[in-house]
Each structure stands twice: as C-alpha cells, then as structure tokens.
Structure 1
Amino acid sequence: MPHIDYYFVAVSPWAYLAGNRLEEMAGRHGATITYKPVDMGRVFSATGGLPLNQRSEARQAYRLQELERTRKKTGLPLNIHPAHFPANPAPASYAIIAAQKAGGGDVGALVQNVLRSCWAEEKNIAEDDVIRACLTAAGFDPGLADSGLLSGATQYEANTEEAIQVGAFGSPFYIVDSGQRFWGQDRLDDLEAHLAGKL
C-alpha cells in the first residue's frame, strides 16, 4: 500500500486549488496520507525560496494570472485578494495536527475547510471560532483548537524541519514512500500516474 506525505501551508492558495483530488486518487489506489502542515517561511529561507512580498513584481504578477487561470480550470470559488491574507497559519496547523492524532473525523476535509475559509469565504483562519467551525464540520471535537496547542506546536516544528531535510520546498508538496516527489497541485496527474505504475 503506497503512502504519501503531504507537506503544505494552511494559507496556500495552491493547496486550496488542489481541492479533494489527492484524497480521491488515494482512495482509487489504496494509498494512505499523512498531512504535514509546515512553516513555509522557514522552509523558503532554508531552500532558496522567497516570501511573496519579497518576490519581483514580474513573479507576483504572474502568480495572479496563474491563480485566475487555475480558478477557472478547477471551477473552485477563489478570491484572488482575500480579506485575511496573509494570516498566521500556525493555530489552524496545530488544530490539523491535533485532529489527525485524535482521529474520528476526516482530516482531508478539515484541511480543505481551513483553506476554503481563507480563499473562498473571507474568513481569518487564525481566529479560534473559524478553526472550531472547521473542526466541527470535518467531524472533530472543536475543543482540539485548544487542547492540541502544545503537541500541535511541537509537531509543526518537527514537520518544518522534516520538510527541509527531505527537500519539500513549496506548497503543496507530495512525497510518496517510493521516494518520488511532486511539487504543486498541477502535478497531481503525475502523482496519480506514478501510483498507477505509469511513471
């Protein structure tokens, strides 16, 4: 049974635009997923990337065009300039980590709820009420927003260090236990081809 480590940032528009395709393909191929939210600022600084506000005007303009094209291709609602971006992704990341550890709900749905809150619903994912609502909608105890803070923070740091060590330099980033790495939601077709033994 293949396994996928999924590294992402809880405010990444590209992770949002992946929708539930990762979960669907994992179901088709009997793959398991471990969700690993990371501090992308630290990952960027260690791997040669730049935060959005430090990129050249040309790169920032291209990003906006790509977001709009991808929005149209996926059909997902997307605010190109959401009201609460950038928001601190750490509290939502801690909750995702705690929920995955606790079990009993749908972690993929939780991740998508958080991302959709930012990119489609104009909500601040750093706020407790938003995080609690995302947990509840995915079948988790909303109290994990509080009870999972310490363990979530510790694992968040570990995920970030691990991402740097294994070469996961962007969001979303998928690493299969075969050693194959895939960067970006636009590589999900390649990931599925790999799971099917075609790549």
Structure 2
Amino acid sequence: MAHIDYYFGTISPWSYLAGDRLERIAREHRASITYRPVDLMQLFPRTGGQKPAERHESRKEYRLQELTRWAASLKLPFNLHPAHFPVNMAPSSYAIIAAQEAGGGNVGALVQGFLRAVWAEDRDISDDTVIRDVLGRAGFDPALADKGLFVGAEQYGRNLEEAVAAGVFGSPFYIVRETGQKFWGQDRLEFLKGHLASL
C-alpha cells in the first residue's frame, strides 16, 4: 500500500482549492496519508522563495487572477481577500497534529475545515473558539486544542525541517514515500492519481 506525505499550510489558498480530492484519490488507490502542516512563512525563504507579501507586484496580481479562475473552475466558494489572512498558522497546525495522533475523527475533514474557515467563512483559525469548533465538526475532542499544544509544537518544528530536507517548497505538496515522487500544487493531483495507479 502506498503512503503519501502531505505537506501544507493551514492558510494556503491552493490547499483549500484541493478540496477533498487527495482523500478521494487515496481511497481509490488504497493509499494512506500523513498530514504534515508546516510554517509556510519559514518554508518559502528557506527554499528559495518569498513570502507572498514580499513578491513582485506582477506576481501578486497574477496569483489573484489564478486563484479566482481556479475557484470558479472548481465551483468552490472563495473570498479573494479574507478577513483573517495572513494569520498565525501554529495553533491550527498543533490541533491537526494532536488530532492525527489521538485518532477518532476525520483528519482530512479537519484540514479542510481550517482551510474553508479562512477562504470561505472569514473565520480566524488562530482563535481558540474557532479551533475547538472545527475540531468538533471533524469528529475530534475539542479539548485537543489545549491537550495537544506540547506535542503539536514539537512536531510542527520537525515538520518544517523534514519538509526542507525532503525538497518541499510550497503548498500543497505531496510525496509518495515508496517512490520519492513529488507533486506540487492542487493542479498536480491528477498526476499523483496516475502515479498511484501505476504502482
């Protein structure tokens, strides 16, 4: 059975636009997923990129156009200028890490819940009330917002180092562990699907 390491940021619009396609592909090909949230604002400069706010105006303008096009194509609700962006990714990332370790709920739904909160619901995913609500809706104990802080913080730091070492430089980023094949971007999910089918 193939295993996918999924690196992403909880405020990434491109990860939001991926929706639940990764999970559907994994089910179809009986692949498992490890969710690895990372601090994108540290990842970008460490891997030759720039934080969105520091990019050239032409790149910023094109990014907005592409996001609008993709959201329309995928028929997903999308706020191009969300009320809470950028926002501290650490609290929501800790919650995902703690929930994945604790089990009992749907991690994919949890990740999508945080992304949807930013890009479609204008909610602040650094707020404890929002984190608890998203945890509960995905079938997890809302108390993980507090219980998982220590383990979440440690693993969050390791995720960044592992991402850099693995060649990750953006979000979403998928790596098939058995083959080392890498796929960057929600628009590469069909390539990931084809690769899994070939195994």
- For the aligned pair, the TM-score class normalised by the smaller chain equals over 0.9
Cα distance between partner residues in 1 of 2:64 and 2:41:
20
1:168 corresponding residue in structure 2: 168
* Helix, strand or coil at the partner of 1:6: strand
Q: Counterpart of 2:79?
A: 79
Q: In structure 1, what is the equivalent of residue 180 of structure 2?
A: 179
Measured in 2, the distance between the counterparts of 1:45 and 1:115 equals: 22
**Taking structure 1 as the reference length, what is the TM-score of the superposition?**
0.98
User: What's the secondary structure of 1:122's corresponding residue?
Assistant: coil
Indicate the residue corresponding to 1:188 in structure 2. 189
Output the TM-score relative to the length of structure 2.
0.98
Aligned 1:90-109 pairs, distance under 5 A: 90-109=90-109
The code of the aligned residue for 2:119 comes to: W
Q: Matches of 1:168 and 1:57 in 2, distance apart?
A: 24
Equivalent residue for 1:34? 34
CA distance in 2, matches of 1:183, 1:31: 18
Aligned: 1:157 with 2:157: yes
Q: Give the corresponding residue for 1:3.
A: 3
User: What secondary structure does 2:183 align onto?
Assistant: strand
Runs of 4+ in 1 over 6 A off after TM superposition: none
Gap runs ≥5 in structure 1 = none
Provide the C-alpha distance between the structure 2 equivalents of 1:55 and 1:165, rounded to a whole number of angstroms: 24
Aligned residues: 198
State yes or no: 1:143 paired with 2:179: no
State the one-letter code of the partner of 1:28.
E
How far off its partner does 1:44 sit? Answer: 1.1
Helix, strand or coil: the match of 2:109? helix
RMSD: 0.7
Partner Cα distance (1:4, 1:73) in 2: 26
Q: Secondary structure at the match of 2:123?
A: coil
